[in-house]
Structure 1
Amino acid sequence: MKKIITVMLCIVLVLLFAGCGKNDDTSKVEIDYGASSVYSKEEIDSAIEIIKKQFASFEDCELHSLSYMPDEECNNADNIEWMNDLRTDDNKEAFTQCIAFESSFRSPEKGGGAWEANEEYTWSWWLARSEGGEWNLMTWGY
């Protein structure tokens, strides 16, 4: 009898713990690094991690891909000025670099909030920093 109870308890515990943990929708993201003459793979990866962290707050959404926008599209004077216009009081230093990505993701199966149900979205993500500093996620969306 003790053996049966122990086995049953073990089965219940396994089932309970199997349901625990966060479903990491960013673990299987297809990354397109493009060809940058401005940023190293490590610098691009550090920006991607910030995007993934923000994306993780999008409940029940599934991130499919992130693609680096070419240097000339994102890291130019107009966009750096735009990033500085978006700067908050938390960012004391002027930004001198920016980086951008296109993403593709699926909304929650049942929708909700601002999401259409089970829809594929394409968004841009913009980050900025002062020379060699930490990336700041400035804006994202359509």
Structure 2
Amino acid sequence: MKRLIAMVLCLLFVISLAGCGKGNTKNLVIDYGTSSIYTKDDMDEAIDVIKKQFSSFEGCELHSLSYTSDDACNNEDNIAWMNELEEANDNKESFTQCISFDSSFRSPKNGGGAWNANEEYTWSWWLARSEGGTWKLMTWGY
């Protein structure tokens, strides 16, 4: 019986370590703003794509995501920009919608890689999709 308990405890310990070092999104505050274009579900789908990418930011903590505005997202120039980015990557999808979120996050306490130590960053995230399609993260950063 002791052996079984020890094995279960070891397994739980290994599982708990599996998430260490990844970008943290558990205390994320989301501001959906006001949109006549996108539903909360539309935004949540885009946010899930952002969170997936952010999880690769080792040691960083995502604090907030804020929908930019319908003016930015229902803008033919920005949709054209998303399509230009798609073409530049030799992809063929034709986007009809884009969405943008501003974010703030903290870099790792000790820095490392491209990060300054323990600094708050503000970035924009741009995603695009064809009508009825899934969101694709096109660009992010300052």
Matches within 5 A, 1:48-87: 48-87=47-86
CA RMSD of aligned residues (A): 2.0
Question: SS of 1:123's equivalent?
Answer: strand
One-letter amino acid of the counterpart of residue 18, structure 2: G
Question: SS of 2:17's equivalent?
Answer: coil
Report the TM-score, using the length of structure 1 for normalisation: 0.86
Matches within 5 A, 1:69-108: 69-87=68-86, 88-90=89-91, 92-108=92-108
Match of 2:17 in 1: 20
One-letter amino acid of the counterpart of residue 81, structure 2: W
Give the whole-Å Cα distance in 1 for the aligned partners of 2:37 and 2:130: 14
Deviation for aligned residue 1:93: 2.7
Give the whole-Å Cα distance in 1 for the aligned partners of 2:128 and 2:53: 15
Give the whole-Å Cα distance in 2 for the aligned partners of 1:129 and 1:13: 44
One-letter amino acid of the counterpart of residue 21, structure 1: A
Match of 2:28 in 1: 29
Could you give the per-residue CA deviations for residues 49-73 of structure 1, whole angstroms, max 9, x where no partner exists?
0000000000000000100011102
Report the TM-score, using the length of structure 2 for normalisation: 0.86
User: Which sections of structure 2, spanning at least 5 residues, go unmatched?
Assistant: none
Number of equivalenced pairs:
136
Percent identity (aligned): 62
